[in-house]
Structure 1
Amino acid sequence: MVAARDACWWLSPWKKLDQEWRAGCARGQQQLAKVADSVQKTTYLTGAHWGSLADCGQLQGRASSRLWDLAHRCSKRLQDEVDGLADIYARMRRLLTDDQAEALDEKRRQRYELLLLEVLAMYEHELVAKSLIASDIFECSKHDTVTVYLASWQMQPHIDRERLEELDTLIQNDSHYQTR
């Protein structure tokens, strides 16, 4: 008889993809933090923080230009990370059509598909939120807005880790379904 964790064809590959997802989110967060840092530093260039160098307009202009260039490069890298997350999500969706699912009886396959659809919905909502942040950050010129984006990125309100653990436990303990 097949073990419950083996019967759920998507659990093991999904866990690997989830690790990739988390790593991509962490890299994206680093890029977003660099954008926030660069934007914040540009605000100091317009203030009285320059002291005796306040009259050096060319130096201020060059520093500002470099900071904005860095912010734009980091914005591009952030978009690349979001594109990577979209690729991971697409690979997660392909788990729905895996050939291993056909080996299960119809009732069990449908049950596992419903669980996977619930999981995919969480990732889809988070991907949309991160995509919106990445697409708007390039146009952003205010540090407060970038800080809100950074907080939104970190909070990950769409992926319910507790629910994912519950689903994992449910699948792991699915032996009572084996006898039906």
Structure 2
Amino acid sequence: MQRQSSCWWLASWRKLEQEWQATSARAQQQLSKISESVQKTTYLEGDHWGSLSDCALLQERASSRLWELVHRCRVRLGEELRALRSIVVRMKALLHDDAALDDQAFLVELVAMYDQELLTKAMIAADVAECSSHETMTLYIASWQMQPHIHRARIDEILQLIQDDAHYSK
């Protein structure tokens, strides 16, 4: 018996993957703003004011504005994180209970990567505003950008296998 000659989920997954990349980049911008603002607040508490060290009101206003920016960026980061969660939910919706496992084995593997990456991003977002260590902030931003659970080489391999497989060609 001849099966359908197409990878039925690939076009939808590619669109979702592009949406993921764009949303993740927007979220990373918010993460960077949070990191910069939190780092600036550490300087407000130090002896970096020089001749303005006696201006408590100025220091308080600067600190207040930075923390307001952190709050706004955390809200936006939360919105972007919810958008990433929605993308993963839509990726999971591509899985069909009635489809043969071999028809969607690659999709299961891809969705698992994005699901794990979403968990990592959620953990970073939960901790970022409470973190004052510059090294940890740098690690968070690098991790967000590198997306260590999304194995680019494996994704490329899967896409090449789909393309080369006569089972999926028209």
Asked if Structure 1 and Structure 2 have the same fold, meaning a TM-score greater than 0.5 normalized by the shorter chain, the answer is yes
What is the letter of the counterpart of residue 75 of structure 2?
Answer: K
Question: 2:136 maps to what in 1?
Answer: 145
Select 1:119's aligned residue among 100, 110, 128.
110
Question: 1:84 maps to what in 2?
Answer: 83
Which segments of 5 or more consecutive residues in structure 2 lack a partner in the other structure?
A: none
Q: How many residues end up aligned between the 2 structures?
A: 168
Select 2:123's aligned residue among 132, 140, 157.
132
Summarize deviations over 1:39-95 as a string: whole Å, max 9, x none.
111122122322221110000011001101111211121111111000000111111
Question: 2:15 maps to what in 1?
Answer: 16
**Structure-2 separation of matches of 1:166 and 1:65:** 50
Select 1:172's aligned residue among 149, 163, 167.
163
Q: 1:80 to 1:62 in 2, by over 3 A?
A: same
What is the letter of the counterpart of residue 165 of structure 1?
Answer: D
163-172 vs 89-98, which moves further? 89-98
What is the letter of the counterpart of residue 110 of structure 2?
Answer: V
Q: 1:76 to 1:14 in 2, by over 3 A?
A: same
**Structure-2 separation of matches of 1:165 and 1:145:** 31
Over the matched positions of the two proteins, sequence identity in percent amounts to 54
Q: Work out whether residues 31 and 78 of structure 1, in 8 Å CA contact, stay in contact via their aligned partners in 2.
A: yes
Residue 137 of structure 1: CA displacement? 2.1
Question: 2:60 maps to what in 1?
Answer: 61
Q: Work out whether residues 137 and 146 of structure 1, in 8 Å CA contact, stay in contact via their aligned partners in 2.
A: yes
What is the SS of the residue equivalent to 1:93? helix
Q: 1:41 to 1:138 in 2, by over 3 A?
A: closer
142-151 vs 159-168, which moves further? 142-151
Q: Work out whether residues 39 and 143 of structure 1, in 8 Å CA contact, stay in contact via their aligned partners in 2.
A: no
45-54 vs 75-84, which moves further? 45-54
Select 1:154's aligned residue among 145, 151, 155.
145
TM normalised by structure 1 equals 0.85
